[in-house]
Amino acid sequence: MLLDAAEVMFAEHGIASVSNRQISEAAGQGNNYAVGYHFGTKTELVRAILHHHSVRLDEIRARITAEVGEEADIRDWLRCLIQPQVEYLGTLRRPSHFARFCVQVASEPTMANLLYEEAFASEAISRILDGFYGALPGLPAGAVEVRDLITRNSIIVTLADLERALNGEEAPDWRALCEAMIDAMVGMWSAPAS
């Protein structure tokens, strides 16, 4: 209950704006110190929410990554990176808040590194990134660094927008959006560096 309440409140109000006491109250806990008792700090609470979702995301990543053959190209690896996240959002109970929670984590200076720590703890992500970087055409290090940044930010914000739409009355076709995201990323990563 605490994880669910915290995810909703953080997604809707930002991480810095929400106190542990407010989370305890929203979760129906009589003890205002329930968050501290169960998680210690707000940072550990955020980490627990990310880990809760990462377990299920990794199952999808493992399935999709297992389908990649020996001759995998940039598109295959980008599919392994993007599709699990989009597919996962499509399976969440409505209204969901996870993608918007991730935007809040990414924009909170003291918490942003938690997103990447959780991602890099995943064996599937390590395999995906190794395959992806191995499939790239020769690009200067500076171009790779900028395109990494654009990719991360584009995925995080696009998923939050998708989540808002999925929570609406007319949910979009998340599979079609997934293909469009992959197309856009393939185009960016395949472009020559100037």
Q: Which domain holds residue 97?
A: 53-190
Whether residue 30 is predicted with pLDDT greater than 80 in this model: the reply is no
pLDDT band at 175 (very low <50, low <70, confident <90, very high): confident
- 34 is a domain residue: no
Q: Give this prediction's pTM.
A: 0.89
- 77 is a domain residue: yes
Task: Report angle CA 10, 181, 164 to the nearest 5 degrees.
Answer: 35
- 33 is a domain residue: no
> What is the 3-state secondary structure of 95-135?
CCCHHHHHHHHHHCCCCHHHHHHHHHCCHHHHHHHHHHHHH
- 83 is a domain residue: yes
The answer to whether residues 17 and 42 touch, using CB atoms and an 8 Å cutoff, is no
Q: Quick one: which of 96, 113, 112 has its CA closest to 104?
A: 112
d(CA 5, CA 29): 11
- 25 is a domain residue: no
Which residues are CB-contacts of 72 (< 8 A; sequence separation ≥ 6)? 131, 135
d(CA 96, CA 92): 6
Look at the chain and report how many structural domains it folds into.
1
pLDDT tens-place string over residues 45-102: 999 999 999 999 999 999 999 998 888 999 999 999 999 999 999 888 889 999 999 9
Res 137: pLDDT: 83
